[in-house]
Amino acid sequence: MIRPTAVVAAFALYLAGVFAVATTDWSAPAPPAAAAPQPTAAARPAPGGTAAPPAPSRRPAADPWSRTALRDRLAAELDAADPGRALADLERTTRAHPVTARYCHPIAHELGHAALVKYRGDFAAAARFRDDVCGSGYLHGIVEETLADSPHPATDVTTLCAPEQSASCIHGIGHGAMFVTRLDVAGAERLCSRFTAAYAVTACAEGVFMQLFEPDGSDPRAAANLPARALAAEPLYPCPEQPAAFRGACYFYAPVYFLQRHDYAHHPESYAAGLAWCRGAPVGDGGREACTRGMGSRIMKYNIDREQWAADRCEEAPAGQRGPCVAGMVSYYRVHHHSRQAADRLCALLSGEARNLCRDAAGTGSSAAD
């Protein structure tokens, strides 16, 4: 059963997409000029002796690669054709314009929501277009929306991803658990605890805390319920108080919120500040290592086209953090390129200590999460 609010939201998203496609200038913005601007010629007097009015200034072109413009274009494409077309476009865009990797995962979530509405709640019909682009965000969106609409979420938690029960699908269950419980972490954890396999609980927990620290933009309820005051008062809230099975996932995703609060896109020094902040996490329960790995993952995600620069940020950290930071880089690089062999390519691009740390990390497992 599809929630009325989901239908309204999807229809509004479609209208916004059509309007954006019709009105946006999709030509790539011109690169900034390297030379100094030329002096403007003096206005010639008009025949009557008055100066001719200056030519009207050109309005700057809209950025076609902004999160809103990209989301609207892809949503319109999905509605006009099918999710496969939109996902292929998203894949091409992230390769050609690496900056979009910063927000392609939540966009893929929203495409999953829209697909489920397009196919009238038919999970199988929407899921046949599943794709690993942007950390499998499309699949996560389908799963979370299906679970949120389910009349029996406690049962569907363990059956929706059957029979494969892949970690990526179960990660989506974690997102959906947060939709079901209205961002109540303890309630979402109880749903995740219905899995018996440890890997499944971990994958579900990753979805829970990714949704907490980076809620879907199409879900204003989640954004409104984000415990911003508590997070500001206690930087690592709510990680220390979580059950052991969920603590690592919480620490891993906490850097997402830290970097957003510190406007990482305009303040690259926030990465070093974040690594220093992770040193406030406890060592005994693995909190500091998980937080550092999460920070390394974000450093890579937000700088996917400059691998050595990202590695240099990890090398700036004290010796005890360098390994986990690079391991986080490796884990995200694999997710972005949806290939375990991508780690070998990454290590070959690095130099110095980072290359050796990368090779060490390449032999370890990586998170299924984005």
In terms of C-beta distances under 8 Å and separation of at least 24 residues, what long-range contacts does 236-239 make, across chains too? 236/280, 236/281, 236/287, 236/291, 238/185, 239/281, 239/287
Task: Name the pLDDT band for 100 (thresholds 50, 70, 90).
Answer: very high
Neighbours of 367 (CB within 10 A): 21
The DSSP element (H or E) to which 363 belongs, if any, is none
Q: Which of 200, 207, 151 is nearest to 177 (CA)?
A: 207
Q: What is the pLDDT of residues 117-173, one digit of tens each?
A: 999 999 999 999 998 999 999 999 999 999 999 999 999 999 999 999 999 999 999
pLDDT of residue 367: 53
Q: Which tokens is 47 given? A: 């025949």
Neighbours of 354 (CB within 10 A): 24
The length of the chain in residues reads: 370
pLDDT of residue 313: 97
Q: Name the average pLDDT for the chain.
A: 84
108 has pLDDT over 70: yes
The CA distance from 96 to 356, in Å, is 29
Q: How far is CA 48 from CA 44, 52, 201, 228, in A?
A: 11, 10, 82, 64
Q: Which of 93, 61, 62, 63 is nearest to 77 (CA)?
A: 93
Q: What is the pLDDT of residues 292-339, one digit of tens each?
A: 999 999 999 999 999 999 999 999 999 999 999 999 999 999 999 989
271 has pLDDT over 60: yes
pLDDT of residue 37: 37
The single residue listed with the structure tokens 């999807």 is 10
CA 276 from chain centre, in angstroms, equals 23
As a whole-number percent, the residues of the chain with pLDDT over 90 amount to 69
The single residue listed with the structure tokens 């884990």 is 331
Helical packing angle, 244-261 and 270-278, nearest 10°? 150
Q: What is the pLDDT of residues 42-58, one digit of tens each?
A: 333 333 333 444 444 45
Residue pair 62/25 in contact (Cβ under 8 Å)? The answer is: yes
Q: Which of 291, 329, 335, 331 is nearest to 308 (CA)?
A: 329
